A and B are shown apart, each in its own frame.
Chain A
């Protein structure tokens, strides 16, 4: 069974995954212009980074991870190679705008046509209810089931159902069978990503032996992005079982029913899928910080740093899905994906609100072969501050629990609790603070720190589908900027509803949304102003002085 990390002597794990894999910081100095050298951009840590250096989502799909994004020949043929990128983008965008509007209309129609006269307001409601009652699984023959925008299935290579986002896996067995046939038809090599486009749907397959993950999506995401989400699901499963245990199980018994082991944790996966549809953290492959005065954050970090124990590797304080502070063992870097999985774990269960939880957890990007033990607790009732202490020793509960007590005591002594409470009352800032009239929203990521900042999403993106549309636009920009065959570093698009700009350099990524009234010159002007503002505010929006034990 899975080896506990703590059993291994010191930190030498066979696959060496404890050391950040991809030579970070090496390219810092040689980063060319435009813009800023990596490590000097706004938000870059002054004493190095907290995270494993990643190149956003390529890290998930990169060849060293065993995957290669490959597109079907049909699709490649259908793409006129001569067409200039900007033309293509502008075409895509107008399509995207209308498609997304069209999507809303389609939903309207289905709502009227649907047997029960309603469509689920949000996909998670269905599962929540079914978890609580244990009875109301969705009927897979229902129209509502077919109308979900993104289905996700996980199956074993032997074709056994492991997870299905909507409806019971049992009822889907036949569907799964068809998928398995498709998978074996589509692929020759392991760890491949394949996709089929048909009838307004994209079907994306990701094979990570011994599992196969499938998404059937009507969203406008690229297959790379859908594959990226599927890989998150894969890592989510690893975080519960470890890669070692997963493989061991299927080596022992090829047609093992993994649902037995995963029972009770489906909602963690459900929650992850919902979160990815709303939170840009996953798209950016980066972590957002709670805006907080640097002096307060430093006091919090020092308190965390002082409340250490021998077995602690990471001490993390978070609020919602924003990071307040992270202190790590020297030379140990967390991967943003692992932190996202921790965020998701915490947001998916109210059980952490009471008492102190002590749970085994694998951080698959850090070390996929062993479990850590996480102490999870909220600092105070009715306050959204969750403390996560990650230890290597499963016997160490009381020591780690005492670290929490010591941390709270230090916080009190430093007298920063009030300031912390205040900051929690406004966990998001308004874009109006930047003072650029046409500016509606933006996402700025500092590559060297792995942190990003983004204001609250405000009018006109009030409705849930409008918010999702905005995220969809960012997703599109992102996929164009990271397209493996034709990456574009600068994109500007004027549309009927908004103007958009993307700017990707070695040091940062910036995605901006403007009102449709502005000009290109105005937009570029605004970017300069925005960058200055971010620089001015960086010690509040980012963690510039990360600490280690």
Chain B
């Protein structure tokens, strides 16, 4: 991750950039999750064309964290292009729709794709079952969590519509990256380094 030092009255204030990509089938709610997280709102969005890019800046006590969020269209014709966007990603949210079993199967395929591109500790992957507000139509039950456990993924269920655990997902991937990364050591050893590249 990119790290920059900003000087504040209290001294240098580190700032971190996280690149997070949203992956998953069409209409599972990727754009809605991004929109909820960035704007804290939910509205009917028309399907994404290509990729969308959002930023969200968090002023935490100890640092400024900038989330760069890549939202992909999830359509086959864009796949050749979108793989570029998860290339340097710190975290990937693999989203499926809990009311649509097929989208869960697709999420597994996305994971295979990711595993080809990244070493296990290069990227934080979270499996996200969205649309929990549609509990009555639920098609994916414990499989989600089970699968996540066997694959060592972070797991969370969300609803962009009713704002259930959306913030938490983004915070969790941020923290997990921060905590598990050997990079944190490097960072402490090299506090003056203006911009460290991704491991």
Contact = CB atoms under 8 A, between A and B. Distances in A.
B49 A350 contact: no
Interface stretch (B38-46, B124-132, B161-169): B38-46
B47 interface: yes
B75 A264 contact: yes
B143 interface: no
Contact of A351 (B38, B46, B76, B78): B46
B4 interface: no
B51 A240 contact: no
A356 B55 CA distance: 9
B26 A264 contact: yes
B contact face: mostly helix, strand, loop, or mixed: mixed
Interface stretch (A278-286, A394-402, A467-475): A394-402
A349 B54 CA distance: 17
A374 B39 CA distance: 24
A358 B84 CA distance: 12
A262 B77 contact: yes
A351 B81 contact: no
Contact of A263 (B35, B71, B76): B76
Nearest to B39: A354
A51 to B, nearest CB: 24
Interface in B56-82: 71, 73, 75-78, 80-81
Contacts of A261: 76-77
Contact of B84 (A263, A265, A345, A395): A395
B77 A355 contact: no
Given A132-B44, A264-B47, A397-B53, A360 B78 contact: yes
Nearest to B50: A359
Size range of the interface on B?
20 to 34
Given A1-B80, A268-B49, A358-B52, 16 more contacts: A131-B46, A261-B77, A265-B49, A265-B75, A345-B49, A349-B47, A351-B48, A351-B52, A352-B49, A354-B39, A357-B53, A359-B50, A360-B50, A361-B50, A394-B84, A397-B53
13 contacts: A1-B80, A134-B27, A263-B76, A264-B26, A264-B75, A351-B46, A354-B39, A357-B48, A357-B51, A357-B53, A359-B81, A360-B78, A397-B53
Interface of B: 26-27, 31, 34-35, 38-39, 44-54, 71, 73, 75-78, 80-81, 84
Interface of A: 1, 131-132, 134, 240-241, 260-265, 267-268, 345, 348-352, 354-361, 371, 374, 394-395, 397, 401
